[in-house]
Structure formats: structure tokens, C-alpha cells
Structure 1
């Protein structure tokens, strides 16, 4: 197969248009979130971008199947099918170049989506790793398989309605299994879908076994689609299913041990990166290492405010998950730190609960906010404002009650809140009210 033949197919096929449609749909999926301030769903880390692309396959995969069917009906639409069929060249030599070009264009469109999001990700994180690459490659492979499968089915069932039917069938294939089994459920069968059903964050990664099993499945599906498109006689079409069946068996064997969830913790992303300038330690996760300079000044200001407490903490640490908190540390939960925040708000977030963790199932928002305001000598604390209503009135009453106490008693209660917060205790009782 010469480069000239591929170039001709590139010019006369609908491959470039199919790739452009995939890219446009992906761009819309990425940047329409910017209008609502939700780009944090994908721009925090490379693995999140690759994972969000896989989520978008719920739309892109059916488009690819339909595009493959559209391409396969090209000769029929131009009324040249019988004429081309009289040429002495084998069917596979006539069909293969165009099918490969369409698959390559679909992959190029998928790569363009990745390139469109890469700039924002590179600007937000300095944590670079290769774990996201297999996730992106499997997504591209699934699109190529979809295009080849669509082309194969359309050649087996030649009709002007086949591309539309393939588009609808593609949507059914990616939507109905999760609807039937539950979008929040897991299983080896659901891992055969091209799209992800789980939201990723900066501290999770896709298990390598999952990517391996999916690569086997989509690779086998691509081979079957290509075989279906190039088979000379319809009565031999069943042979094309052999690679898909074999790939399905192997993929299920690989995926079954990880059917509980495709995601695993990324320990390297959660590892600490700390200051080494002689001052109090300020540490962030590796995934947020680029934001460390923005955290240093407000974190040390928080430590100065906390220094009035007995056994005051001497360092600030960004933490991913609640756990056993050392008394010498002030903790900042990952969800409460954004380098773009006002520095006063970052300080207040650290001082919430007197520098203690936010515990699972906790409803001590009021107490944490009051303690932050007391330590800052500013009520309400920045970032803890609430609209007028019952909660605001209750918080105002609790604040006035605390401030009416003698200064020593106020300090004792704030210290009691810190002791309770370190062990996920009752902050309401520690502050002295219900």
C-alpha cells in the first residue's frame, strides 16, 4: 500500500470530516465547562484530562461508528459500486486504504482534543507522569475500532439507512448497559465499554490491568471490523467474529480481578512537596506542587495566629484524606486549597477548626467557621460568609456567646475545639454549646 494511495483516499474519503466532527464535539465538551467554571473536572492533572476524554466517548464512540458506516456507503451513494466491483483487484486491496484512513482521522480528532486541553493542564500542574498515556491510547484505539466496525457492518448491510442505524446502535451500546446494571455499579462487563463511568481526581489513576484488558478488547474489535469490511464473500463474514470473540474472552479474564473499580490511588500524586527555606514547613501534595509558593505566606500567617494555643502546630500540610493528625501539624484539605484564592481566604481555610481536619460525616461547619474568625480576629472569616437566614442567625448567636466570655475562657474553648478536631470529636460540645 503506497503513500500515494493513502493520500488519494485522504482527499476523497469522509475521514477528515469525521475526525473534525470528533474534535469539535470534544472541544465543546472541554470548554463549555469553562462557561460554568467547571474546568476543574479535567484541567487539574494529566490523568484527569485523559479520563475526562474517556467519559466523552459516550458521545464520540457512536459518532465514530456512524462515520465508519457513512464511509462504507460512499461507492453506493455515488452509484459506482458495481463499476468498482468489476475491477480485477481483490476486495481487500480496494477497501483497506479507505478504512485505515477513516480510522486514522478519528484517532487524529481524538488527539486534537487532548492537545486542546494540554495547555490548561500544563499551566496548572507540575506533576508529570506517564500513567495517563495508556488511558489516552486506549481511548484512541476504541475510536479506531468503532470506525472500522461501522465500516464492516455497513459493507455487510448496504443501505442508505445503515449509517443512521449504526449511530443509534452505538448510543445504545454505550448507554444501555450502564442503565441496566447501574451507572455507579462495576463489573468486568462494564469495563468493556469505551467510556469511563467513574470521575477521576488528581489522586487517582486507572489500573494498568484495566488499560491492558481494554486494549486487547478494542484491538480485537478493530481486527474484526476490518475483516468484516474486507471479506470477499458474505458467507464467510462469520470468520470476522473470531478475533472479537477471542479478544472478549482474554479481556474478561484480564479485567475480572479489577472489576470492583478501575481506579486506584496514585501514591506519587499524594506525596508531599515541602518548603526548605529555614522557615516553618509548608507542604502540599505533588499534584499541587505548582501552588506551593502561593500557600507559603498565608500558611505561615495561620501558624502565627495558632501560636496563641497551647501545643500550637508548627507546620502546615495539605492532606488528601482524613486520618490520624499529629498535634504538631495544621491540616488543609485538598478541596479547600486553590492557588488562585485570596490569601486571606486561604489563611481562614487553614484556621477552620483551629487547623484540624474536616472529618467524614462532620456537620461542624458553624464551629469551624467561628474558630477561624476568632483566630483571625475577623468575623465572619473570609470564605465563610453565609447568606441571611437561619444558619447565619445561629452562627451570629454562637459568635456573640463566645465573645461574651472572659478572654481566658475563650482561649480554652478554642483549644478544646482543636483537641476535639484532631481526633474527629464533637466540636459543638468543645465550643460549649448545642
Structure 2
């Protein structure tokens, strides 16, 4: 009996795609990690200046391009010079694939990893801001343009690495990129062409600015790539033309590329007190803390006339019937991670702004005594005791001035409620008046 067996047909093993090999091994993942650590390190080092403010977070992230863009260009340049360092250029020349395909197979994984590193940094800092956010909403409109600029930097650097025959090409490329960004960012006319131009937290790009910036940055990189590796180098004119059109649009629009944040022009107010307490809508969740810090002031002012209508928080001089709230921004001064750092100092600054004599020349002694007594009654300075102790140990003039201040403070504090309200009403009637004839004496 004969038994016949059939050998199973060998399964066809599919060769791995060259992009996969480049993406999971070698230098590309390291380039992405370097961008992640650099952007993340810069953000961590300045966390108190952005954590809690969505606009500040977006501005700081965009500002990190000043370092990560040159780094991406240097990484692309290093990858581009790989075959020369390995001395495999002639071997690669025998491969069937065309030069453009070979170039992209080596450059695209690096670009993808660099962008992935940046996006991970964006996600991480967004998660870090979210628990402390004071209002507003995430500002992500710049992210597509930033990511495109990083891709362009890698591609351009890759071509430079293939053309320039020196191991110093990568660091020199990064240095040149940093200088170019610095020059563009410091030039008022050309600032709109810089992919790393500073964005004020109170402003945000118009919706089409990232698209135009992407065309402006990616166009020259694509043209350089096609001019180097394409069979028909005339095709490089297409992306170059697109880049010129985008650059002309950016340059023509100029400062119009950045529009005021709608939130920055709004106020969130507590109208249950007089003066009303208003903060910028970007920090609406901070209003309870600000109202609590000023509660001692507003409580003592109950029934007093001639007060400002409200404390307001926006750019520019307030109207005559309003007063400026102490600045919430820049973060890391009065506010850190969504919390007022020194409520007592904040209240003292609010009273000083309400008195409105910051632009006046030298004050008469009676006015200075009245201002000091009002400040000490409503919200004394946290350093008041130390200043008084210093004057108590000073010369005769310092001790005499201290005695006069203490007497004025005691007189205001010792008045009955009705008399003190009348005196304060007369005092605030002269607010913002540098003539100071109506300031009552103590």
C-alpha cells in the first residue's frame, strides 16, 4: 500500500515596508524623543507662568518652536548624512527605487517622530493646565501650523545633510535655523513670516493663518527636496510658487494675522458688592477668590458714596467711574496655578489703585496722611509693620512722620460709623484729582 503525501506550499512571506524599518529603529524615534524632552523641559521650567491659563499655555508652546524647529532641522540633517557616514552611498545608488523615494523613505519617519514628540508635549501640557484652568478654553489653532513647520524643518535639513559633506553640517544647520528665527522674530516687518513668532496671550491667530504658515514653511522644503531628488526638477517650481503666494499673503496681512481673543474683551463680575468686582472672562473661575480677597474692603465701604462703579480687568485706562483691578497677568506674580498667592497684598494693591494718585506729583502732607490712613483702615500693606518699625528706629524726622501717620490712622479708625462713612465719601469724591483741594484732613 502506497501512501502519498503532499507537501504544503510554502507561505509567501511579505517583506516589511521600508518605512516601517526606518520608523521603529534607528535615529527617527530618538529625534522625536529629543523634541518631546526639549519642549517638555522648557514648559516644566516655566510652569508657573502658564499652568492654569489656556492662552498662556498655547503661547508658551508656540514659543518653544524657537528651539525645537532648529533641533528638527539638525535632526533631519544628521539623518540625511547617514549614508555618507556609513559609506554606503554607492550601494544605495544601485537600488531600483528612484532617488526621491529613497530620500522620503529615510526622511518621513524622522518627520513623523518629530511631530509626534511635539504633539505629545502639547497633550501633556494641556493635561497639566486643565486641573488649574481659570476659564477660557484650549487654544489649539496654532498646532497644525507648528506641526507643519517641524515637518518642513526635517525635510530641508535632510537635503542639507545629503549635500553638505561634513559631520558639522547638523549642528551648523541648527545654529543657522536659530539665527534665522531670531532675525525674523525681531524684525517688525518680517515677523509675520516667522513660524515661531511670539503670540500675545490676549490674541490668537486668525483661522487661516496656520494654513498659510504651513504653505510658507513646507513649500520651500518641498521645492528643495524635489530640486535635489526628483527626475523632473522643474516640478520644484510648484511648491515654490505656493510658498511665495502664502508668504505674500502673510506679509501683506501683517499684524492682522492676530486678532484679540474674544474672551479677553469680556468681564465676569460680582455685582453683589460696591464697587463691583470684575475679572477678565479668561479667568472667570478666579472671581470667587478675588471677591473673597476684597471682601474686607467692600465690607468696610458699605454705605460710602462717590465710590467707583467697579474694579475692572482689561487693557487700557479705565473710565473715570471705574478703577483698575490689580493685574492677574502675567501669571506667576499674583496668581500661580489658579490660586491667588497673597490675598492681603492683592487687597492692598486694589485700594491703592482705587485711591487713584499714581500719576500725581508730590503730595501735600495732609493728603499723604489721609491716603495712608485709608489704606491702613481698608487693607493695610503686608509690610506696614516692618516699615513702621524701621521709621521708629530712624532719625527724628522719621519718628515724627511715624507719629503723624499713627495718629491719623487712629483718628479714622476711632470715628463712629456715620462720621467715618461721611469722611470716606468726601475722600473718594476727590479720587483721581491731583489738585487734591477736596481731600479732607485728619
**TM-score bracket for this pair, using the shorter chain length:** 0.7 to 0.9
Match of 1:214 in 2: 213
1:18-42 CA distance string (max 9 Å, x none): 11112222122112235xxxx22x3
CA–CA distance in 2 between the matches of 1:208 and 1:24?
Answer: 29
Q: 1:108 Cα shift?
A: 1.4
Match of 1:156 in 2: 163
Gaps of 5+ in 2: 1-14
User: 1:206-355 to 2 correspondence within 5 Å?
Assistant: 206-208=205-207, 210-228=209-227, 230-232=229-231, 240=236, 243-257=239-253, 259-260=254-255, 262-275=257-270, 282-307=277-302, 309-312=304-307, 317-326=312-321, 331-335=324-328, 338=335, 339-353=339-353, 355=354
TM-score normalised to structure 2 length:
0.76
TM-score normalised to structure 1 length:
0.77
SS of residue matched to 1:140: helix
- Contact 1:417/1:427 (<8 A) preserved: no
Q: 1:287 Cα shift?
A: 0.9
Tell me how many residue pairs correspond in the alignment: 406
CA–CA distance in 2 between the matches of 1:357 and 1:196?
Answer: 37
User: 1:102-117 to 2 correspondence within 5 Å?
Assistant: 102-117=110-125
Match of 2:144 in 1: 137
- Contact 1:402/1:410 (<8 A) preserved: no
Mean CA deviation greater in 392-401 or 117-126: 392-401
RMSD value over aligned CA atoms?
A: 4.1
1:298-352 CA distance string (max 9 Å, x none): 33332121225324467655444432143xx665233386333344344333333
Q: Does residue 7 of structure 1 match 2:44?
A: no
- Contact 2:115/2:150 (<8 A) preserved: yes
SS of residue matched to 2:24: helix
Match of 2:7 in 1: none
Match of 2:428 in 1: 418
Q: Does residue 45 of structure 1 match 2:53?
A: yes
Q: 1:53 Cα shift?
A: 2.1
SS of residue matched to 2:51: coil
Match of 1:186 in 2: 188
Q: 1:414 Cα shift?
A: 5.0
Match of 1:17 in 2: 30
Mean CA deviation greater in 338-347 or 146-155: 338-347
CA–CA distance in 2 between the matches of 1:272 and 1:379?
Answer: 24
Counterparts in 2 of 1:229 and 1:60: CA distance versus 1, 3 Å: farther
SS of residue matched to 1:133: coil
CA–CA distance in 1 between the matches of 2:129 and 2:437?
Answer: 44
Q: Which has the larger radius of gyration?
A: 2
- Contact 2:74/2:173 (<8 A) preserved: yes
CA–CA distance in 2 between the matches of 1:363 and 1:135?
Answer: 46
Match of 1:78 in 2: 86
Match of 1:56 in 2: 64
1:170-220 CA distance string (max 9 Å, x none): 122122345xxxx3x522x2221122245x23x332344543432321232
Counterparts in 2 of 1:262 and 1:100: CA distance versus 1, 3 Å: same
Gaps of 5+ in 1: none
